[in-house]
Structure 1
């Protein structure tokens, strides 16, 4: 099945406003309403021919433990060098590459994602989100930022006990203990009732999910009627209509990245769009922000080559060192057009 085209937003040829708009997909009227009993699809490096006709995907043995161990081991190093936001930054091509610029770019990534999704500004208190879940929260950088921005209650979930403990300590130190709580939980089996959150936020955690359909289904389940869902994640490129799989060299490159970062099979932006459509989600939009994050990985590598970065890396552990060794492969994947830094936003239908 041919994949829907993803808007490629180039700073050199289109305005930033156009990049924010991305591609918009109307919700199909013939698809049944969201149900937790819907069968889940296997997500692989091939396009999903039918998101409702395939067997549920299962996590590879040890995946959850590997993810938790990686972040238990590496989060302190990241915070020491980069601060509490564990995600890409959003850049203009003219921006300088100082560490301060990178940290500002990480904040800008949050703001750009909110703007792209059409989340009301903080000066519109009647319509701003009051309850937020941060799925794959790291040490809670986004959780605390969003809680302060909107005066909201924010709950973060992570597989890493070290991240949850550190994030709660930071919330306490910033006087946010009454607003921000981090806990250890599985994004595919979230410990929340249906319809609890006005804003469902996932900043670079979807790539760790072995069952992308179950992942999006859980995001939709915990979203309140009319609530906004924001997914910012790593994808592989959309397949051409004549293709049934990525090329062998592309699959090989992704496998090397997966092995280092405890990632299951990747999917394309169009796969996410198809899943959202099948769940009757509305106002589906997506955009490719790969060019806007291009300075990020070179900056991470540069920081690792400083004396502080190098000596800190040596004190972490093999998981972190192995991750550092494959960072150039991320740059290679972006340059080849294989890896796409993608935002997908949508809205859960309002109450009938």
Structure 2
């Protein structure tokens, strides 16, 4: 009888999970999702100021969850060669969240950073967290139609925003359009395996559908495919450089779940509704870990220079 009861509960939770998906509908659906997470503070409590994965070293080793996120920013700076740029260089942080990476770029490297996000609540929170002496400012903007003129920035920086973009070709062109000649584009993103070389089988298609529908993603690009789109803009100087950081970032998925276990204060702070909302994300985090662990998804790094 207990087994039947347990199976009924699991089935019920599964149905709720599937039918309460946050499917991508428009840029508004993305903005609304992030507005909600920012307003209640749950994501910031568990993930900190950096709403992206961490870098756990090569090969990966155990590391504090939030320290790994900070390390990711510094590793991305080094991989992109940005540490060679002079202080005062202008940086556009596309999909800046609540400004964690923007503040590191401004404080530790002396860059003048403009962070943009489609979420007004994220902009508000980023401004609250940024001290006046840090040269970083934030505004609402759409990465598919950036409000800046051509050749505005020395660097365009973007972490894990690509899956929210419905047209990857337009996204690629916008990123490069606002770069000055000789400027550097550095992108870190979640990517799907290149299905042109190895088509997805049935279970893989189901997993990818959940990864899209649960977190307001219209589609994932492949590393090869997005590099080709950047090249196709005819705005790049030379070849686009790519790298795969799947192994370096893989521990972050289970680590993010572990935060909910070792930080029970969240249950007290956010109450039962917050606990349920957090618990609802666990299946997606596990599916992400599965997808990146078996090669269905890959963590792609991209570097391009504006012609």
Shorter-chain TM-score range: 0.7 to 0.9
Q: CA deviation at 1:69?
A: 1.8
Task: Verify the 8 A CA contact 2:55 2:72 in the aligned structure 1.
Answer: yes
Where does the alignment leave 5 or more consecutive residues of structure 1 unmatched? Answer: 1-59
Q: Is the 8 A contact 2:60 2:247 kept in 1?
A: no
Deviation at 1:111, TM superposition (A): 1.5
Superposition TM-score, scaled by structure 1 size:
0.73
Partner of 1:330: 288
Question: Alignment partner of 2:240: what SS?
Answer: strand
Q: What's the CA shift string for 1:154-174, capped at 9, x where partnerless?
A: 111111111100101111x35
Q: Specify every segment of 5 or more residues in structure 2 that has no aligned partner in the other structure, as ranges.
A: 1-22
| SS at structure 1 position matched to 2:83 | coil
Which residue is equivalent to 1:249?
A: 203
Cα deviation digits, residues 285-313 of structure 1 (max 9, x gap) = 11111100111011111112342244537
Aligned to 2:51: 86
Q: Name the structure 2 match of 1:286.
A: 242
Relative to 1, partners in 2 of residues 1:102 and 1:318: Cα closer, same or farther, differing over 3 Å?
closer
Residues 313 and 321 of structure 1, relative CA distance in 2, 3 Å threshold: farther
CA distance in 2, matches of 1:114, 1:87: 15
Question: Are residues 1:113 and 2:73 paired?
Answer: no
- What is the alpha-carbon distance in structure 2 between the residues aligned to residue 159 and residue 274 of structure 1? 26
Instruction: State the distance in 1 between where 2:166 and 2:56 align.
Output: 30
Q: Indicate conservation of the 8 Å contact 1:203/1:231, yes or no.
A: yes
| Residue deviations 1:2-51 (CA, integer Å, cap 9, x gap) | xxxxxxxxxxxxxxxxxxxxxxxxxxxxxxxxxxxxxxxxxxxxxxxxxx
Instruction: Provide the secondary structure at the position in 1 that maps to 2:82.
Output: coil
TM normalised by structure 2 equals: 0.84
CA 1:330–1:61 in structure 2 vs 1: closer, same or farther (change >3 Å)? Answer: closer
Give the superposition deviation at 1:247.
2.0
Q: Distance in 2 between matches of 1:104 and 1:133?
A: 23
The CA RMSD measured in Å over matched residues stands at 2.2
Aligned-partner Cα distance in 2 for 1:210–1:314: 34
Match in the other structure for 2:226? 272
1:96 equivalenced with 2:62 (yes/no): yes
Find the counterpart in structure 1 of residue 122 from structure 2.
163
